[in-house]
Amino acid sequence: MARCRRCRAYINPYVVFIDGGSRYKCVLCGVSNEVPQLFDWDSVNNQPADRWQRAELNHAVVDFTAPAEYLVRPPQPLVYVFLIDVSFSAIQSGMVATATRTILESLERIPNADNRTKIAIIGFDTALYFFSLTSETTESSMMVVSDIEDVFLPKPTDLLVNLTECRAGIESLLGRINEMFAQTASPGSAMGPALQAGFKLIVSHASRVYSVFSAIRC
Ligand SMILES: [Zn+2]
């Protein structure tokens, strides 16, 4: 995108072309700038282009996808961590069944155009329940961390998994969580440690943590 060599203003619909169109006058500071090479060239289709069709000469506001040189690191995949309260009252109130069903029905709407989106599910009552998933099987294994004073991740991989690759396993797990904890008698809700665990999972990603917990207490 062409910018003024003196004031760095972007080229825009109000600039005036001079010297037969080879230069333009900056509308902010008045300096004369060279029109960039290939300004009249369509580099996508590799053919001559009409500069007056260019978005930046027709609209005052234009969004461009930032190229790599504008990024300090490659774009990170989207990461979603769901923390689900699986304590007695959460199960009894029907919250867990509703939450897991809702997440299941929402998987399709999670942005994942590039198939890089990652997802993790953590259950909690007085302990934390991690679920390990792989793309090879729809089975998941559950790991219980009962030391909530000093939260740690029970394994380094397979807790935060690729939504596309592990879709079958994620769906199967969401379908079973309510049943898995149906017999629980645990009254506690280690929400804080669950959040810490979620944070540890996502710390290197741009991400969101969703926490579902029951407000009903016995
Ligand atoms: Zn200028």
pLDDT tens track for 185-208: 888 889 999 999 998 988 877 556
Please tell me the pTM assigned to this model: 0.67
CA of 24 to the centre of ligand 1 (A): 10
CA of 33 to the centre of ligand 1 (A): 8
User: How much is the pLDDT for 1?
Assistant: 79
User: How much is the pLDDT for 69?
Assistant: 80
User: How much is the pLDDT for 174?
Assistant: 96
DSSP state of 3: B
CA of 18 to the centre of ligand 1 (A): 15
User: How much is the pLDDT for 208?
Assistant: 64
Could you tell me what percent of the chain has a pLDDT over 90? 67
User: How much is the pLDDT for 65?
Assistant: 78
d(CA 36, CA 31): 15
Alpha helix positions (H), the chain = 88-92, 95-106, 167-180, 191-202
pLDDT at 19 over 70: yes
pLDDT at 35 over 90: yes
The dihedrals phi and psi of 118, each to the nearest 5 degrees, come to -115, 155
Cβ contact 135:166 at 8 Å: yes
In one letter, which amino acid is 14? Answer: Y
d(CA 134, CA 119): 12
Residue 195's closest CA among 119, 82, 117, 95? 82
CA of 61 to the centre of ligand 1 (A): 17
DSSP state of 218: -
Contacting residues for 68 by C-beta, under 8 A, at least 6 apart: 74
CA of 2 to the centre of ligand 1 (A): 11
Which token pair is 68? 């790599």
User: How much is the pLDDT for 218?
Assistant: 36
The dihedrals phi and psi of 56, each to the nearest 5 degrees, come to -70, -15
d(CA 203, CA 65): 26
109-136 tens-digit pLDDT = 999 988 999 999 999 999 999 999 998 8
d(CA 214, CA 216): 5
d(CA 76, CA 133): 21
User: How much is the pLDDT for 214?
Assistant: 53
What's the CA dihedral at 191, 197, 203, 209 to 10 degrees? -40
CA 31 → CA 16, 25, 124, distances in Å? 11, 6, 64
Whole-number average pLDDT of the chain:
90
d(CA 84, CA 75): 28
| 124 SS3 class | strand
CA of 60 to the centre of ligand 1 (A): 16
CA of 11 to the centre of ligand 1 (A): 9
